[in-house]
Amino acid sequence: MNRFDGQVALVTGASGGIGAAAAQALAREGAHVILTGRDTKKLETVEQHIFDAGGAATIAPVDLTDGDSIARLANAVAGRWPALDILIHSAAVLPELTSVTDIDQAVLTRALTVNLLATQALIARFDPLLRRSADARLAFLTTSVATQPRAYWGAYAASKAAAEVLIDCYAQEVRNISKVRVAIIDPGATRTAMRARAYPGEDPQTVKPPEVVADRLIAILGEQFASPHRERINHSS
């Protein structure tokens, strides 16, 4: 028996990086994984990897800047499955690193839309499905700059900090009246495209691959953790 046999999981940002690695790890453990992201071709590649390994997945392209698309996604999932057991929210955008005085308002608005407003929309739309699960778990991927602000990271840090507060509040709201448990995970330095954009001079081999984070995520989701659970994944490959 695999840890998540018969369970349904949805992963945002599943077209690459930690999201893709987490989706494949969930599928290996028996979950049927709904892969969401904007790039259909990349989602199809991840889906094929899952199929090749004997797993089950469904792609669901979605633009997190469009609240209506999130609603349509939730309706589609509810029309096919009776409940959602696992939600991993890893999708995020990294705006240009610049001083607070030089932040472009349009860029900040997009960061807030994807990193904050979409987070609230996902919670609102998928809460009913999570509550129908006998063992629902929500994992939100955050960043250290959300709680330890750093110069030139203001736009990203502010958007993720606000989203983290939302997630924590939601965890407190549901923990005594439902079976939904929430984990707030800081993956630490990880070999992703976002990391490469933030640190263009860094040797990617000096930081851990996404699979390390995915393995720890899967382990956490398989545990009876207290909600909200907070953890930073520091170890390397």
Can you identify the CATH homologous superfamily of domain 8-232?
A: NAD(P)-binding Rossmann-like Domain (3.40.50.720)
Burial 18-31 (b: 16+ CB within 10 A, else e): bbbbbbbbbbbbbb
Percentages (nearest 5) of helix, strand, coil residues in the chain: 50, 15, 35
Which pLDDT value is given to residue 70? 97
Which pLDDT value is given to residue 237? 44
Q: Going by DSSP bridges, is the β-strand pair 137-141/32-37 parallel, antiparallel, or unpaired? A: unpaired
CA 33, distance to chain mean position in Å, is: 13
Burial 50-89 (b: 16+ CB within 10 A, else e): beeeebebbbbbbebeebebbeebbeebbeebebbbbbbb
170 is a catalytic site residue:
no
DSSP symbol at 100: G
Considering the candidates 152, 156, 170, 199, report the single residue annotated as catalytic. Answer: 156
Q: Which residues contact 205 (CB under 8 A, 6 or more apart)?
A: 191
Which pLDDT value is given to residue 236? 57
Contact 18, 46 (CB under 8 A): no
Which pLDDT value is given to residue 28? 97
Question: Which of 159, 171, 79 shows the shortest CA–CA distance to 118?
Answer: 159
Burial class (CB in 10 A: 0-12, 13-18, 19+), 138: buried
> Which ranges in 132-227 belong to alpha helices (H)?
154-174, 193-198, 210-221
Distances (CA, A) of 111 to 5, 36, 50, 138, 159: 35, 18, 30, 21, 6
Which pLDDT value is given to residue 234? 86
Which pLDDT value is given to residue 22? 98
Burial class (CB in 10 A: 0-12, 13-18, 19+), 5: exposed
Residue 118 amino acid letter: A
Which residues in the chain come in under a pLDDT of 70? 236-237
The ranges assigned to domains in the chain are 8-232
What is the spatial distance between Cα 78 and Cα 159, in angstroms, rounded to a whole number?
29
